[in-house]
Structure 1
Amino acid sequence: MAHIDLGLDERAYPGIRGPMRFRPETARPLNGLAEALLRAPHPTLSPGERELVAAYVSGLNECRFCCASHSALAAAQLPSGMALVEQVCADLATAEIGEKLRALLRIAAAVQRSGRDVTAELVAEARAAGATDLEVHDVVLIAAAFCMFNRYVDGLGTLAPDDPASHEIAAKRIVQHGYRNAGQCSAL
């Protein structure tokens, strides 16, 4: 049970969905941020890659709901699906991804620990692998935002369903309609 009374059935609104339903005036900008970071047109990073960053950081933060939901979203949008997401989350060093994405995920992991852990060397490695300043910027912002989203979800003690099918259903809805238009509230 959540730490506060959200005034709803947590099973119907698990994870971030309950708090967003509880405070729609804060849900709107949070969903707008998620839409801009994860789904808006981007010259080089696909929505699946950006969702992978969110899933990876959420996994590092041990946020069960956000890791599961964004893993489902990444899998729904990446050609290699959930197998790739699981590889990245299990062992970034050996995951079957390009060096640019690996370097960007290392930057995301540094942000997860502390923004100050992002070093000039990490950025240089990403650039050497082909990353642009825009990609570095956006990965840092996605990682930072997901540290906030993860702490929001876990700080309120919200329900994290164990059934992967619930996350897959929400992922399909968000892929089709976006974060702002995926129903009553986000499945971040």
Structure 2
Amino acid sequence: MSKPLIGVFALQGNVREHLAMLEQVGVQAQPVRRPSELEQVDALVLPGGESTTMEKLARTFELFEPLQKRIVDGMPVFGTCAGMILLANEITGGIAGQATLGGLDVTVRRNAFGRQVDSFEVDLAFEAFETPYHGVFIRAPWVERVGPDVEVLSTVSSGPATGRIVAVRHDQLLATSFHPEMTGDARLHGYFAELVRGL
């Protein structure tokens, strides 16, 4: 797949920023708001936002079940912040009845790093990258449990959250606690694009 078409869930979140990053790494990108648009894409980005609102909007626009089916069928998905929560098989700290799309064998704690005022930035080490990646954390989750087939890509290495897991991969699913679209650093979008091209 030389130039895949990657969609960005466009009902909430930093849609424009993700689209720009994907185009920067040489893939076609388009917003996805309805099932017919989801059918066209080879892969999808679930951006940050508010996970419960994103779930409700996905149901309202009849995207929730089609998204679940595409994930089960092997579509690559990159979830960032709220997108990580939506991909998780299990969440803690959610609201009563909160559902996820699932597929990613992890337990994620919602709003683990605190409220908006507790937002922070930190450099993160990734084995795939020669230099650190600057992570922007805004009401971010963290991963509390990973399944046996889940690869931990990055953990926080300083401060009170040292050791917390903030980036994971499980087969064709990639997720980060932070907002890579806000850094100007397209390496993670490039990593995801290579994952998609390799399938």
**TM-score interval, smaller chain:** under 0.3
Greater helix share, 1 or 2? 1
TM-score, with length taken from structure 1: 0.28
Q: Scaled by the length of structure 2, what TM-score is found? A: 0.27
**Bigger relative contact order, structure 1 or 2 (CA pairs below 8 A, ≥6 apart):** 1
